[in-house]
Each structure stands twice: as C-alpha cells, then as structure tokens.
C-alpha cells in the first residue's frame, strides 16, 4: 500500500488505494475549474401553493466563490431574517462554481434578491431562481448526490491518469485487474474506479484540520479542550498574523487582549473570545457557533473514526467491494431518480442522465459465514454496499474481523457509543456509511479534466487525490 500525504494521515486517510504515480497538478486555479451541481431529491410544489401548508420557499442558487454558510448568512441579512431560517442539504466549498437548493421559511418570492420578480438588488456572484415551495426545510443529506467537472492545472504527468484508473479498477477486482493491461485511452469511454469512501480533508479543515479534535474533546466532556482546540492550534499553513494570535491566546488565556490580535476574518474565533471575555464558560463559547457547525464538530469526530476504520481494513487486506463474515451490508434504494439542476418533481427523469446508487439504511443485512457468497453477488451487481459505522448512541458494531476493527479504533480514541448522548446540537444517534465509491468517470486530456458523480456525503477530492497524489492543500 502506498502511504498518503502527512496531512491526510492526520485525519485518518492513511493510504492510497492505487500504487501508480499521480499526475501532479493543482485544483481550483479559478472557481470555474471546479464545478459542482447537486443531484436533487427533494419534494417541491408550485410557488403559488398555500403558504400555510408549505411555508418554505425553495431556491436554486448558482454561486461563484461563495462558501455555503457565508451565502446563507448574506441572504438572511439581505431579507432581514435569522440565518437559522435558511437551510440547505449539503455544504459546498467556496473555491468553486456550485449549484444547489436552499429553503427559506416565510419568505415571499418577490423579496428574493436578484430574481426577476424582486426589487431587491442581486447578491454578487450569485444567480438565484425561485423553484417552488415545500412543507419543510431542507435537512443535511436531502440530495441524491453531486455531479462534478474538475479541471487540473499544470499536471506534470497527465498520462498517469490511465495507470491510476487501472489500479483503482483492480482495487475492487475490476475487469482489468492488472495495470499493465491498460488500454489506450481512446479505447475507453469511461473508467469505473473503486475508491475507499474516506471523508475528505475539507471535513476537518483543509489548512488547519481541527474540527475532529474539537468534536473528540466535546465527546469526552472536555469543553475547555474543545474551545482551545479551535482557538489555539496554529498551523504553519495559515497567515503569520493568525498563527501569532493563536499562540498568544493559548499561552495567556487573556481573552480581551487576544481580541486585539485576532484578524477580523476569523469571526467565529472572535465571537468565542467575546463570550469568554464577558464571563461565559468554555461550553458557552463553543455554543456560539451556528447549530449546523455545532453538529459538524461531532460529525467530524465520527468521520475521523470512520477513516481510521477504513485504513485498518486496508492494512488487514480485507476487501471493500464485497463483505466478509461479520460485515453489515445495506441494500441499495429500490428507485433512483435524482437529477442535476432538476425540476420540481422528484419523479422526473434526469436532464443530464446522471444517477447515483445509494444505500438504504432501512434495508440492513448482517453477513453470516453462510451468506457471504450471496451478499458478495449483490454487492458485485450494485445492489448492496459494505458499510462501516458513523458511531452514535444507537450504533451496533459489526461482528467478526470488521467488528474487531471497529472496537479497536474506538478503544484507541477512548470512545463508546454512549458518549454521543450529548446535550443540544451535539447529540448523535449515529448511522452507517458505504465504504466504497464506484463512480463512472470520464477523463479529458486537454486540459486534464475529470467528470463524475458521487452520492451525497462523498467527496470529490477523495477521488482526485488518488489521481494527483499531491498535497491536500493543492486539492
């Protein structure tokens, strides 16, 4: 196995699945180089539907250079409401052009900034359209997936994309099984690589991966440790001014003086420092984050444990594309009608023809020795997925060797499912997640461009890291 970059190892991504050298290069030279379009899966009704039953206005926004949280805050400010009344299904990176749905409670269509019916000025670098109404707000995961088109700039070895693809097909027993048999790229319409479904670097912080450390401290009841993990922990990859401010607050715990040194763009840290300077507790400081970010801390701790479980499975040589005795498998959803930039009717066919297979948490099977072969055939045909846990209060760990891995990781982290019984937004009942991605992937070479779709919650950078094999800071 090829060892991953040191920053990736710090968040549990210990290895690559492919041994071939990468293409090199970098992503996101401009937002247009990284395009993301949601595959929508949300019930929407006509905009003139009764607001009593359908109080949420559904918007579709194409954003250039916007972080999802920042856009939601700007939209809320423009219409004079709390940011908590704006909801979305998946957080997108600001270094991209992204198209996604938002829901806003009790907003009239004519008040939406920048739309044809509105007198309000548009939000810069945001193209917003009214889609309809809904009976509830979007929740995290209320999408089938995302479609990506990503351009790689200045790759040193673009021809290596074929060798990496062959390695990744072989990782899950693909049709090639041997990178030496790589056909000429002109003979391939698309590859179907097999990639461990890691949580990507963005989950933890690209330049300063600390969100999981905050979450682990919360799970251990260490609110001071949680607050200081976010306020302190300077990274060599952030500006010197930010590093100095973090070093000062870690050394002095002088909240008022620390405010003088923290740059204005570190607004979450500044809000925490104001709370502490006013006599608030460390827990009060952590709870100044918006509710979705409070949840993110514990989610990041779950994600870190999940990544470690996948790395341990690779170390043991256990397969990802098929189960072994003790595994927990989820069957695929029976229907899959997601669309990119879709219409208001979830039963409509996809404009782009892109669909993604998704596991159904309501159709679980624990794999016994006698059922291994049967379940392997289901997985081979895309009808089922091997899973690992995102641990929470309701988690029942696997049996056999997969269960050994799960227990060892939790023991090493000092965690137990009961630890996730927490107050407020930090509580989590847990779930499971497929351990393998099998996207249909096309590659263009002038410039080097990758197109593929992934189910919701999966990361494009986890696919692309296999191809570039460069620092996650270049992803």
Query: Which of the residues are catalytic?
Result: 93
Phi first, then psi: what are they for 311, rounded to 5°? -65, -40
For 141, 318, 374, 389, 401, the CA distances from 435, given in Å and listed in that order, are 17, 12, 19, 10, 15
User: What does the alpha-carbon distance between residue 269 and residue 224 come to, in Å, rounded to a whole number?
Assistant: 14
Largest CA distance in the chain: 67
Residue 10: closest CA among 311, 430, 402: 311
Helix axes 291-316, 211-219, angle to 10 degrees: 100
User: What does the alpha-carbon distance between residue 144 and residue 359 come to, in Å, rounded to a whole number?
Assistant: 11
User: What does the alpha-carbon distance between residue 119 and residue 353 come to, in Å, rounded to a whole number?
Assistant: 36
Task: Give the residue ranges of DSSP H helices in 193-281.
Answer: 211-219, 223-231, 240-252, 255-261, 267-277
Q: Which residues are paired to 146 by β-bridges?
A: 38, 454
Task: Give the residue ranges of DSSP H helices in 108-232.
Answer: 160-171, 211-219, 223-231
Calculate the dihedral angle through the C-alpha atoms of 430, 432, 435, 437, rounding to the nearest 10 degrees: -100
CB count, 10 Å around CB of 180? 7
Residue 33: closest CA among 149, 145, 125: 149
Helix axes 211-219, 223-231, angle to 10 degrees: 170
């Amino acid at each position: 196995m090829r060892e991953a970059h040191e920053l990736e190892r710090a968040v549990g991504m210990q290895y690559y699945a492919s041994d071939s050298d990468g293409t090199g290069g970098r992503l996101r030279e401009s937002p247009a180089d990284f395009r993301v379009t949601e595959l929508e899966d949300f019930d929407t009704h006509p905009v003139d539907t009764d607001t009593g039953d359908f109080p949420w206005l559904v918007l579709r926004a194409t954003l250039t250079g916007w972080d999802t949280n920042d856009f939601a805050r700007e939209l809320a400010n423009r219409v004079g409401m709390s940011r908590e009344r704006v909801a979305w299904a998946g957080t997108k990176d600001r270094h991209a052009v992204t198209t996604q749905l938002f829901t806003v409670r009790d907003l009239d269509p004519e008040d939406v900034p920048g739309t044809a019916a509105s007198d309000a000025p548009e939000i810069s670098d945001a193209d917003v359209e009214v889609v309809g109404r809904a009976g509830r707000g979007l929740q995290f995961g209320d999408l089938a997936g995302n479609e990506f088109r990503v351009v790689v700039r200045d790759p040193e070895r673009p021809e290596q994309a074929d060798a990496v693809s062959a390695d990744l097909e072989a990782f899950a027993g693909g049709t090639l099984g041997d990178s030496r048999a790589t056909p000429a790229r002109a003979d391939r319409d698309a590859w179907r690589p097999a990639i461990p479904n890691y949580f990507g670097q963005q989950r933890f912080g690209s330049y300063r991966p600390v969100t999981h450390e905050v979450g682990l401290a919360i799970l251990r009841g260490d609110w001071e440790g949680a607050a200081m993990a976010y306020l302190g922990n300077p990274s060599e990859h952030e500006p010197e001014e930010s590093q100095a401010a973090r070093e000062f607050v870690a050394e002095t715990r002088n909240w008022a003086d620390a405010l003088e040194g923290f740059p204005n763009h570190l607004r979450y840290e500044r809000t925490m420092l104001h709370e502490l300077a006013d006599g608030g507790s460390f827990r009060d400081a952590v709870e100044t984050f918006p509710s979705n970010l409070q949840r993110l801390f514990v989610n990041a701790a779950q994600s870190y444990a999940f990544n470690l479980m996948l790395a341990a499975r690779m170390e043991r040589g256990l397969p990802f594309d098929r189960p072994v005795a003790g595994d927990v498998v989820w069957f695929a959803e029976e229907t899959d009608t997601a669309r990119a930039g879709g219409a208001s009717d979830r039963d409509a066919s996809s404009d782009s023809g892109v669909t993604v297979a998704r596991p159904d948490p309501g159709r679980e099977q624990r794999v016994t020795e006698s059922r291994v072969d049967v379940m392997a055939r289901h997985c081979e045909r895309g009808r089922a997925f091997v899973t690992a846990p995102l641990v929470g209060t309701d988690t029942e760990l696997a049996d056999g060797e997969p269960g050994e891995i799960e227990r060892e990781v939790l023991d090493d982290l000092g965690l137990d499912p009961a630890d996730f019984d927490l107050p407020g937004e930090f509580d989590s009942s847990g779930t499971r997640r497929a351990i393998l991605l099998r996207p249909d992937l096309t590659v263009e070479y002038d410039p080097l461009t990758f197109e593929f779709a992934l189910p919701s919650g999966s990361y494009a950078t986890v696919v692309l890291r296999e191809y570039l094999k460069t620092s996650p800071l270049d992803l």
